[in-house]
Amino acid sequence: MIRKLPIIVLAALIIAGGAWLLIPQQNPQMPQLGAANAQTVEADPSAIADMVLGDEAATIEVIEYASYTCPHCRSFHEGDFKELKADYIDTGKIQFTYREVYFDRFGLWASMVARCGGEDRFFGITDLIYEQQREWTQGAPADIAENLRRIGLTAGLTNEELDACFSDGEKAQNLVAWYEANASADGVRSTPTFIIDGTTYSNMSIGEFRRILDGKL
């Protein structure tokens, strides 16, 4: 079943020494670990960059809205996305933009780790996060934070770099504001959602992708 997007961010907290946002889920009550309060800053969604693959001169634009904790998104990235990348992105036929959405606090934490390496490492870290989704999402919140740290280290980030990213409360708030603005503007209600040249599609197979894209080429 495709999971629906939450609407409201409830609170900010610091967990295991880093700044994280608490996003509503079935059981929003969560013990605080580490410092008790996070500094509140004015969110600036324009400070967050889109993560893009492909030729900027491509005639077709594909945007994916996805959550790192969404099993359907994992399945897409482990399978059909590889064909889409090889046949359409790497060949310059489409420009592909990946936009994160946050079902829960853990999806936000994963996004902060993926972005910790900058644009050059983002998609490589994203692949690792999806490949290990079943493993890193297990355990208490502190365990999940440590699991994500290990993924970052595997991707070549240092503990110092990860500490800086984990403690960036301003970026966390900017990310949530960015996600909410995007989801509202594009009418996104579930993941994965794909927008192809302005038209919205729900989760679909690579065959359906090919039919739509080939019809535009």
pLDDT at residue number 5: 42
- CATH number at 141 reads 3.40.30.10
**Does residue 4 sit within a domain?**
no
pLDDT at residue number 40: 54
Domain count, the chain: 1
**Does residue 105 sit within a domain?**
yes
**Does residue 2 sit within a domain?**
no
CA-nearest of 86, 162, 67, 51 to 117 is 162
pLDDT at residue number 169: 86
**Does residue 6 sit within a domain?**
no
Give the domain extent around 69.
Answer: 11-40+49-216
Q: For 112, how many CA atoms within 13 A lie in the half-sphere containing its CB?
A: 28
pLDDT at residue number 41: 59
Task: Report mean pLDDT in 10-residue bins for the chain, 217 residues.
Answer: 39 39 37 36 88 95 97 96 97 97 90 94 97 96 92 95 89 92 93 96 95 96
